[in-house]
Amino acid sequence: MYRYDEFDARFVRERVAQFRDQVARRLNGSLSEDEFRPLRLKNGVYLQLHAYMLRIAIPYGTLSSRQLRQLALIGEKYDRGYGHFTTRTNMQFNWPRLRDVPDILDLLADVEMHCIQTSGNCIRNVTADHFAGIAADEIEDPRPTAELIRQWSSLHPEFDYLPRKFKIAVTGSAQDRAVTKAHDIGLRILRNAKGEIGYEVMVGGGLGRTPMIAKTIRHFLPKADLLTYLEAILRVYNLEGRRDNKYKARVKILVHEIGAETFASLVEEEFAKLDGPSIAADPEEVARIAAYFAPPPYEKLPARAPKFEAAKAKNRGFATWASVNLFPHKVPGYAAATISLKKIGEAPGDVTSEQMRVLADLAEKYSFDELRITHAQNVVLPYLKQDDLFDVWQALVAADLASANVGLITDMIACPGLDYCSLATARSIPIAQAVAERFADQQRQIDIGELNIKISGCINACGHHHVGHIGILGLEKSGKESYQITLGGDATLNAAIGERLGPGLDAEDVPDAIESIVAVYLKHRAPSEPFIETVRRIGLEPFKAIVQEKLHAPA
Amino acid sequence: MPLLDRNGAKDNAWIVSEDGTSDAEKIIVSFAHVKEALAGNGRGRRIGVIIANTVKLAELTPYLSEIDLIAIRFPAYGDGRGFSIAKQLRNAGYQGILRASGPLIADQFAYALACGFDEIDLPDAQAARQPFEQWIKAASSISQTYQRGFGTQNILDARRAARATGK
C-alpha cells in the first residue's frame, strides 16, 4: 500500500500545525464562528447532536495493521472505546473534545493518516473497489488512480470553496463495487480497441434528496489526461454550479439542468484550452505511486486447499461463514474474507477498539498487513491463504466478528440517524436492529439470498437507501417518525434508483413490512433468481398491497 | 479599504470610479463602463475594471491587452468562483494586476496567490479582525502542495527534481 515520502509527511504535519493555529485564531476572535466552520469541517470536525464528531479519511478504504491499531488507541483514549466505519470508507469518532482534536491529528500523522477534506464543500475522500488488486475481472488496480487524485485534490487552491461537497469513486473492474454511478465523478478503468488503458468518465451521480445516476461525458479518456480533465470538470462546476440554494448546489443538479451534453461540451471546451503536460503528473510519478500497489509476495499454492476443505467438512459454522463471506481471489489458493460488522443487534459499522486490534493482528499475521474498509461498512482481509481460513475464523468467533451474513438481508447499511446526527429526522440504527432480529435465523437468511437493505434517517441519504434493493427512509411526519419503503434500487453497474411502495409506515410496522416483501419475493421467484431480479421481472405492483395493508390495519 | 499583497500592506494607487468620470491617473471602472473608458482613454491613463464573479472569461477577452488591473469581487469567503476566474485569466495570458475584492479570510491567501491574484482588497472590519501579520503567516503555513501549474512550489515537480539528481 502507499507510504508517505518526505513531502507527504511534511504536508500532513504542516496541516496539523495550521489547524492548531486556526483553533487559536478562533479562540482569540480573529476568526468568527462562521469563518471557522469551513476550516474545522475541512479537518473532519463536525458539531453533532451531543458533541463534536471527528471523521478520519481512509483513502480508498485501505488500512495497515499499524494504522488500525492507532485508530483503536484513539477510540480508547478520546472516544468511548469504539469507532464507526462509514459508507464512504472513513472512520468516525462520535465523542472527542474540540481541544483534543489537534493532538488526535498528530497521532494520525504518526501513522500517515489525516482528516483532510472529510467534510466541507471540497473534494472528499476518494473511494475505490474494496476488492482492488484481488478481483479476477479487474483491468487495472484503481488504487494508484485514487491515490493520485487524493494528492491532487488535497488543499487544491482553486477547488476548496466549491458550491457543495464533491465525491469521486474509481473502479477498475467490469463489476462496479464502488457505486461509481452515485458519485459526483465516477471513473471506470477500461481498455480501448487499441489496448490502451483509460477511463470512462461519469458525472453528476448522487443520492441525497434528489437522487441521480451519473451520465457518461467521456467514453474513453487517455490515462495521461486524467488530472487535466478533472481540472476542467471542477472548473466548470466551480464557475457554473448553483450557489443560491444549498440543496441544488451539487454538480448533479447542474448536469441535470443544462443537460449532460452541454455540460460535456463546456468541459471539453475548457479542457482544450489547458496545457496538459504542465498539469499532469509525469509517467515516472504515476509509476512511483503504482509501485506501492504491486501485488504482495504471494506463495505458489495449489488451487485446492486440503486443510480448508477438511475444516469445512468438519465444522458447519465455518462452512457457512466460508460460503457466505469469502470472495474468490485471482491468485490460486488465496481468498479474500469480508468481516461483517453487522452482528445482529449491533449498530452497522461499529467496531470496538478491542476488535480493531484483533483485526489488525489477523491482517499482520495472515494478510500481508493490510485491510480494506467497504462502503457497505464491513472490513476485508484481502490476502488470506485458504489453508489459514479456519484459524482466522476461530479468532473472529472469539472476537464476536464471525457473523456469516455478508450480502444477505441482515448485512444492512444504516446511517447514524437520530441517535447521533443533527440532520436526521428519524432513527436508523434501531430500525436496522429490529429488522436484523426478525431475520436472525442463519438458514433463513441464506434461503432468501442476496438482498441489500439500506436505511437513511433523513433525505440526505447517507445510508444510500435509494440504491438499496429495499430502501428505508426515515422522515418526521407531524411529530412522529415515519418510514418510506422503496424497492428496486441497485448500486452496481446496473445502477437504479428504487421506487416508493407507498406512504410512510410507523417504526414498529417496518419489520412486518419487510417480512411481507420477502414473502412476496419467495412466492414469485424463479429457481435461484435473486431478489432484485424478481423485482425487476414482476414490477412493484405485487408488493404495493403490503404497505396499504399496514396503513389500514386496525391499531 | 485596506490592501495587501504577499509582502504585507500596500498603498492603493487606484481610484474606483465606476462610471469612469474621475480625472485620476489610475481608475477602476465597472464592467458596464469598461468599453467606453478604454475608447475615451486618449491620454494614456491606466484603466482597471471591477467585475462580479459571474462575468465570463469570453466577455473580458476583447479588453485584456488594454486593462491594467482586474478586480474580482468575492461576495463571501465561501464563494470560490473568483479563484477559477483568476486562474482562467492567467491561463489566457493576462499579465496585469489581479485583485481579489471582498471579505476573504487569511486562510485563503495562499489559494488566492496560487490562482494568480496579486493583491487582496479587504473590508475594514475584516482587516481589523484579521491583522495582516496573520495573512502573511497563513500564506506560508503549507510550504508545498500537490498541484502543478499553481505557483512555483509543488511536490510533484520537487519529486521530479529529486529523481533527476538521483536522491
Find where cell 469563518 sits: A35
Alpha carbons A176 and A513: distance in angstroms, whole number: 30
Chain B positions touching A241 (Cβ under 8 A) are none
CB B40 within 8 A of CB B27: no
- pLDDT value, residue B99: 98
Which chain B residues are within 8 Å of A5, Cβ to Cβ? 159
H/E run at residue A385: strand A379-385
The residue among B138, B140, B160, B109 whose CA lies nearest residue A7 is: B160
For the stretch B138-161, pLDDT in tens is 999 999 999 999 987 899 999 999
A235 lies within 8 A of chain B by CB = yes
Q: Is the pLDDT of residue B45 over 60?
A: yes
What is this structure's pTM? Answer: 0.95
Instruction: Give the up-direction half-sphere exposure of residue B22: CA atoms within 13 A in the CB hemisphere.
Output: 18
Please indicate whether, in this complex, the C-beta atoms of A158 and B80 are within 8 angstroms of each other.
Answer: yes
Q: Which residues of B touch A21 (CB under 8 A)?
A: 137-138, 141
Rounded Cα distance between B105 and A522, Å, is 60
Q: What is the ipTM of this complex?
A: 0.97
> Cα(A339)–Cα(A298) distance, rounded to whole angstroms?
21
For A11, the closest of B107, B144, B156 (CB atoms) is B144
Backbone dihedral angles phi then psi of residue A373, each to the nearest 5 degrees: -105, 135
- Which of B59, B81, B122, B157 should one mutate to test binding to chain A, selecting the residue with the greatest count of A CBs within 10 A? B81
Nearest CA to A81 out of A457, A351, A274, A299 is that of A351
The C-alpha cell 466549491 sits at A162
The pLDDT assigned to A553 comes to: 66
The pLDDT of residue A275: 95
Q: Describe the crossing of helices A101-110 and A6-27 by its angle, rounded to 10 degrees.
A: 180
A395 CB near a chain B CB, below 8 Å? Answer: no
Q: Name the closest residue on chain A to residue B128, using Cα atoms.
A: A30
**Looking at the complex, does the CB of residue A274 fall below 8 Å from at least one CB of chain B?**
yes
Task: Yes or no: say if A452 and A413 are a contact pair by the CB < 8 Å rule.
Answer: yes
Q: What is the pLDDT of residue B167?
A: 57
Closest Cα in chain A, distance from residue B2 (Å) = 16
How far is the C-alpha of A202 from the C-alpha of A197, rounded, in Å? 16
At residue A38, what are phi and psi to the nearest 5 degrees? -65, -30
CB–CB contact A14 B141 (8 Å): yes
With contact defined as beta carbons under 8 Å apart, do B116 and B89 qualify? yes
Q: C-alpha B86: how far from its chain's center?
A: 7
User: CB contact, 8 Å: A246 with chain B?
Assistant: no
A480 touches chain B (CB under 8 A): no
pLDDT tens for A101-138 read 999 999 999 999 999 999 999 999 999 999 999 999 99
Q: Residue A554: what pLDDT?
A: 57
**H/E run at residue A166:** none
SS3 B93: coil
pLDDT of the residue at A195: 95
- Around Cβ A400, how many Cβ atoms within 10 Å? 13
Q: Is A497 on the interface with B (CB under 8 A)?
A: no
Give the distance from residue A459's alpha carbon to the nearest chain B alpha carbon, in angstroms.
24
Contacts of A160 in chain B (CB under 8 A): 80, 111
The order of strands in the sheet holding A499-500 is A413-414, A453-456, A470-477, A480-487, A499-500
Residues 6+ apart with CB under 8 A from B5: B118, B119, B120
CA A271, A276, A278, A284 torsion-angle sign: positive
Chain A residues in contact with B111 by the CB 8 A cut-off are 157-158, 160-161
Helix or strand holding residue A512 (H, E): helix A510-524
Nearest CB among A38, A155, A278 relative to B149 is that of A278
Which three cell numbers, joined as nine digits, stand for A142? Answer: 484503481
The predicted model gives B33-61 an average pLDDT of 92
Contacting residues of B for A274, CB less than 8 Å apart = 91
Give the Cα separation of A495 and A473 in Å (integer): 19
Instruction: Name the packing angle between helices A6-27 and A33-41 (round to 10°).
Output: 160
Q: What is d(CA A437, CA B59) in angstroms, rounded to the nearest whole number?
A: 63
- A13 by DSSP, 3-state: which? helix
What residues of A are in contact with residue B130 (Cβ under 8 Å)? 25, 30-31
State whether residue A237 sits within 8 Å of chain B by CB.
no
Q: Which residues pair with B42 in a beta bridge?
A: none
Mean pLDDT of chain A: 94
Tell me the pLDDT of chain A (555 aa) as tens digits. Answer: 999 999 999 999 999 999 999 999 998 999 999 999 999 999 999 877 677 889 999 999 999 999 999 999 999 999 999 999 998 899 999 888 888 999 999 999 999 999 999 999 999 999 999 999 999 999 999 999 999 999 999 999 999 999 999 999 999 998 899 999 999 999 999 999 999 999 999 999 998 889 999 999 999 999 999 999 999 999 999 999 999 999 999 999 999 999 999 999 999 999 999 999 999 999 999 999 999 999 999 999 999 999 999 999 999 999 999 999 999 999 999 999 999 999 998 888 999 999 999 999 999 999 999 999 999 999 999 999 999 999 999 999 999 999 999 999 999 999 889 988 888 999 999 999 999 999 999 999 999 999 999 999 999 898 999 999 999 999 998 889 999 999 999 988 788 899 999 899 999 999 999 999 999 999 999 999 999 999 999 999 999 888 777 776 654
Q: Does B115 touch chain A (CB under 8 A)?
A: yes
At B10 the pLDDT is 95
**Contact residues for A96 (Cβ-Cβ < 8 A; gap 6+):** A51, A52, A53, A54, A78, A79, A104
Nearest alpha carbon to residue A53 among A421, A423, A457: A421
List the single residue in B with minimal CA-CA distance to A32: B129
CB A69 within 8 A of CB A357: yes
